[in-house]
Amino acid sequence: MRVWLACFLVLFALAELFDWLKGFSFPLPIYILGGAFLAVASNYEKIIGAYFNDGGEQSPVESFAPSKEAVPLTPANQVVDAQQEEMS
């Protein structure tokens, strides 16, 4: 009998809480701040992890960084001529 009474009280409290929450609403700035917080929290490793990288592996942010090695820019016909010279 105690179990039935406890279950009834818990379900009744949950139903009343649900009815109270249906009428409760936040203003728009709270939704915007909440969305920004969730975006930062979900990308925490990508944002903050790049600053504390131990050097063992490249972070996703560094993989998009420009290369430090110089890449010579030559016209396409010079590249083709150089490849043909290597083949012969």
Residue 6 to residue 9: CA distance in whole angstroms: 5
pTM: 0.34
* Confidence (pLDDT) at 15: 94
Q: Which amino acid is at 70?
A: A
The residue count of the chain comes to 88
Radius of gyration, alpha carbons of the chain: 31
13 Cβ neighbours under 8 A, 6+ residues apart: none
In this prediction, the residues of the chain whose per-residue pLDDT falls under 50 are none
